[in-house]
Chain A
Amino acid sequence: MRNIFAVAGIVIKELYRRKDFYVLFILTVLVCLIMASVNIFNDKQIVRYLKELCLLLIWISSLVIAITTTARQIPAEREQRTLLPLLAKPITRTQLIFGKFLGCWLVCGLVLICFYVFFGALAASRDHTWPLLNYFQAAFLHWIMLGVVVALALLGSLVFAAPSSNSTICFVIVATILTVGRYLDAVALAQPEPFRSMLYVVYFAIPHLEIPFEMRNLIVHDWPLIGWNFIGLYLLYALAYTAAFLVAACLVFRRKPVN
């Protein structure tokens, strides 16, 4: 476990050095503050459009950071020729994969803390309320979902040739699931066989990342808390997919030459 945490620590330190997070965070803050300064019929309590915009920007930024950070981990080690010396140390390939995953996932967690603290402050400046448990549920589910994305991107970094192609494919897959994942079964119902069966297979096979994404509406419109049992069930569901992608990544990496 020490090896895994050591690798994860290096990934987290890399976050401080790179500009991705700072640029995205400052952009999000700027856009939200500009939108907050708009006068809407002299009413200073209107807040939901701000919350929706802020949450959308948080989702886009977190996905960019998660996928780009993860997609370059293994390829960067290979390009800088640090992969062989790293594996010469008493660390297994599986530990390296898990260390990279844990580091990228913790990076996502830290990023989300910063973004959601800003979101909470922005909402409270108009709302004058602090629904902390609701925000915690949203942020926690968001982080869990990013774990699946990070595992997927890590698997992709071992399968695809370049980080750019891996990033693009991951973005396309994730964006497609977020926008139409919930409705694939409805579309399948309207199709003739065998297309219907194919769509159903895709629908049941994909990780339903849109569930935390659509939870934004509950936060924006001040709906009550979700039952904790459902949060727990989604946690197990997402962990299962994360584990599956990580196991696949380990199997692929075991057979891959490192030079």
Chain B
Amino acid sequence: MLALLVFCFGLGATLQPQFQALENNRHQSNDFFHLLLGDSSRMLANSFFVKADEYYHSGYYPTIFDNNEAFKTPHVAEDTGAVNSKNHGEETSFMGPPRDWIDAFGRHFIPNRHTHLDEGGPADDLSTSDNVREILPWLKLSARLDPDNITTYTVTAYWLRLRMHKVKEAEEVLREGLRNNPQSYEILFELGRLYDENYHDADRARNVWQLAVRYWLKLTPEEQKDDKLLFEQITTHLGQLEETAGNPTQAVNWFQAAQKVSLTPGELQKRIDSLKEKVTDQPQLPVPKTTY
């Protein structure tokens, strides 16, 4: 009996740390939504992200019965320039011609024109471009339901920072995203942009972007191939930062790193050539190498 008790105690003590490690890896949250919905919260999060895109279009949005080839990547994300677009076809005529008189009549009672909130919306009034704020509740809800979805944080921060001029709130969103996704180079890139463009803090921006490059380089070759765009953006921004700071050597290094993944290497070469004329004897930073 005593031996059995000792055995049980020892087994429990051995297994407990392993279960603890498993739970930490699954990022279990005590959040209300996760407790209530479990993993289905991710499905709802995607629906709310699409809802934000619907609001971006003032309700003119395809359903599952319409041709949604032009809406595969939500425009609210595509317009930030930070995601690869999978959209094809015409975004203004997904409904097609009316199928019958009832359909034709019913279209007078629904949004029937393609608009974007930041371009004036249905009234075509650019003074109301601030109405893009209306997408924010859905983005916030989407982030709460799926904290692992990095795109939600970067898209929310973009609209808060650049269109709503709410820099502090954008920083809070990005920091929350980093807490939930500590190794996200996408969020670090956006944070670096915030430091550089809004706070004009070049040193912090540099540190954050260099950290983003380090995290990107830790990806597998397949993952690196899928996200060359962001690596190019990070290295290009680093190059511009060093160029502005008067460090042409470092700037050349970063632009050369960007060239390896860029679809327009010629443009970058022109910048490199003009910078090389300014190069003096400065210690060179190692050029980050991609592994594919």
Contact = CB atoms under 8 A, between A and B. Distances in A.
Contact of A215 (B58, B110, B123): B110
A223 B137 contact: no
B160 to A, nearest CB: 6
Interface residues of B, number: 30
Interface string A40-57: 111101111100000000
A187 B133 contact: no
Contact of A221 (B102, B111, B164): B111
A217 B110 contact: yes
* Chain B interface mostly: helix
B137 A40 contact: yes
Given A43-B133, A48-B55, A183-B65, A224 B108 contact: no
B242 to A, nearest CB: 33
Interface residues of A, number: 37
Interface stretch (A4-12, A206-214, A238-246): A206-214
B140 A41 contact: yes
B121 A222 contact: yes
A43 B166 contact: yes
B134 interface: yes
Interface stretch (A153-161, A226-234, A250-258): A226-234
Nearest to B58: A221
B110 A221 contact: no
Given A42-B169, A189-B99, A208-B102, A221 B59 contact: yes
Contacts of A45: 130, 133
A45 B133 CA distance: 8
B111 A217 contact: yes
Contact of B108 (A46, A185, A230): A230
A204 interface: yes
Contacts of B106: 182, 208, 210-211, 214
A214 B109 contact: yes
A186 interface: yes
Contacts of B100: 185
Interface string B101-125: 0110110111100000000011100
Nearest to A182: B106
A214 B110 contact: yes
Interface string B58-97: 1100010100000000000000000000000000000000
A28 B2 CA distance: 63
B109 A226 contact: yes
Nearest to B108: A230
Contacts of B164: 41, 43
Contact of B123 (A187, A214, A217, A222): A222
Interface in A175-198: 182-183, 185-187, 189
Nearest to A229: B108
A218 interface: yes
Contacts of A186: 65, 99
Interface string B22-62: 00000000000000000000000000000000010011000
B102 A218 contact: no
A132 B63 CA distance: 30
B65 A226 contact: no
Interface of A: 38, 40-43, 45-49, 141, 182-183, 185-187, 189, 203-204, 208, 210-212, 214-215, 217-218, 220-224, 226-227, 230, 233-234
10 contacts: A41-B164, A43-B133, A43-B166, A46-B137, A48-B134, A49-B55, A183-B63, A208-B106, A217-B58, A226-B109
